[in-house]
Amino acid sequence: MVKLNENYLKLPGSYLFSTIGKKVAAYSEAHPDVKVIRLGIGDVTQPLVPAIIKALHEAVEEMGNAETFHGYAPDLGYAFLRETIAQKDYQARGCAIDADEIFISDGAKSDCGNIQEIFSADARIAVCDPVYPVYVDSNVMAGRTGVYDEKTGTWSHVIYMPCTAENGFVPQLSEETPDLIYLCVPNNPTGTALTRDQLKVWVDYANSAGAVILYDAAYEAYIAQDDVPHSIYEIPGARTCAIEFRSFSKNAGFTGVRLGFTVVPKDLKCGGASAHSLWARRHGTKFNGAPYIVQKAAMAVYSEEGKAQLKEQVAYYMRNAKVIFDGLKEAGYEVYGGINAPYIWLKVPEGMTSWDFFDYLLEKAHVVGTPGSGFGPSGEGYFRLTAFGNYENAAEAIDRIRNL
């Protein structure tokens, strides 16, 4: 009889945000009159900016005309978008990235989850702890993570790099040598970032160890400090050791529109084989291109008008981040993040676990956040709040927490 992929059976019952969603739905059903404020999942709430809406409308019109209609998009993305990204996101910053090293996709989550397919089944992965769950779960599905230890919440074959207040949320080089190193900068969930010097340590290490850095820069638009790099390719040597993921979800509000891209430099060789060729082969086989309409909409992100409108949108969310950060500080919490990222990471009160605090906040303040332990064992004792809501809700949530 056919068997299912048993690796999937090793995974927790549901993805972190589905578990939270179910808990909150049950609470709201039992308390229909309570206004619950959701600062849990990092989903954008502001409408698409006018420049993007205009580009979408124009592209829809094109699709309604035989002369300008578009069928399958090129697997790797339209040249107009790849060239624009190469120039504006990379070459303008002094990064030597070419248009044909950019692969357009339906979002960074898919690419972060799929990239492991081009590496060997026994590749050893290293992750920051806490970590965006997709990196570990996708490797569990591929059978790369070993055995799960319920007590410690760790997989035997995964190298965890604790990022806590004690080490300033900076991952430290591990004793064991990894093959794949996942880094997310600015970081989800801690909202902290790495400086150029801190990132250079990792680039040098990966080059000397023959490891590959899988660099998730989905929150790049939120960087406020000058010494935080916007791309790993700002660091000399990154072309031979790093793959970068970018998203339009958080910088342009595309969580429901779907678009992202991955950069695989042609200089990245593993045992003489080209990661670029393998990713191109994989992408061409399993992906039929992101919609023309959406790729045209992404072009508006780079227009002068679009840039100005999106700058305001990012500022709107970062104003929420400040209200949350300052309010929690005033209320006596130990608070991190929120400066280069739209996430605030706080220490839960002494004696509570992350999930205790989740229940406490939901019941007493009717505010939803994300328990730090859901992101990994070193997230225990911490809690994440997102700044992606609307301003009034963020302010009200903080008032409620302050008054507890």
Residues lying near ligand MLT in the complex (CB under 6 A) are found at: 41-43, 109, 188
Taking the complex as a whole, the smallest distance from the CB of residue 382 to ligand MLT amounts, in Å, to 14
Taking the complex as a whole, the smallest distance from the CB of residue 253 to ligand MLT amounts, in Å, to 12
Taking the complex as a whole, the smallest distance from the CB of residue 358 to ligand MLT amounts, in Å, to 14
Which one, 18 or 288, has the nearer CB to ligand MLT?
Answer: 18
In single-letter form, the type of residue at position 241 comes to: C
Cβ proximity of 240 and 268 under 8 Å: yes
Taking the complex as a whole, the smallest distance from the CB of residue 109 to ligand MLT amounts, in Å, to 5
108-145: burial string, b at 16+ Cβ within 10 Å, e else: bbbbbbbbbebbeeebbbbbbbbbbbbbbbbbbbbebb
Taking the complex as a whole, the smallest distance from the CB of residue 320 to ligand MLT amounts, in Å, to 15
Which one, 109 or 124, has the nearer CB to ligand MLT?
Answer: 109
Which one, 84 or 354, has the nearer CB to ligand MLT?
Answer: 354
Q: Using CB positions, name the residue nearest to ligand MLT.
A: 42
Query: What's 86's DSSP letter?
Result: I
Rounded to 5 degrees, φ, ψ at 13 are: -45, -45
Taking the complex as a whole, the smallest distance from the CB of residue 201 to ligand MLT amounts, in Å, to 26
Q: For residue 307, give Cα distances in angstroms to 42, 184, 221, 258, 312.
A: 22, 24, 11, 19, 9
CA-based angle 341:345:348, to the nearest 5?
Answer: 170
The residue whose two tokens read 């801690």 is 190
3-state SS assignment for residue 246: strand
Residue 112 CA to its chain's centroid (Å): 9
Taking the complex as a whole, the smallest distance from the CB of residue 7 to ligand MLT amounts, in Å, to 21
Q: How far apart are alpha carbons 138 and 145 in whole angstroms?
A: 10
Which one, 45 or 198, has the nearer CB to ligand MLT?
Answer: 45
Which one, 127 or 238, has the nearer CB to ligand MLT?
Answer: 127
Cβ proximity of 52 and 300 under 8 Å: yes
* Distance in angstroms between the alpha carbons of the first and the last residue of the chain: 57
Taking the complex as a whole, the smallest distance from the CB of residue 85 to ligand MLT amounts, in Å, to 19
CA-based angle 103:316:45, to the nearest 5?
Answer: 65
3-state SS assignment for residue 53: helix
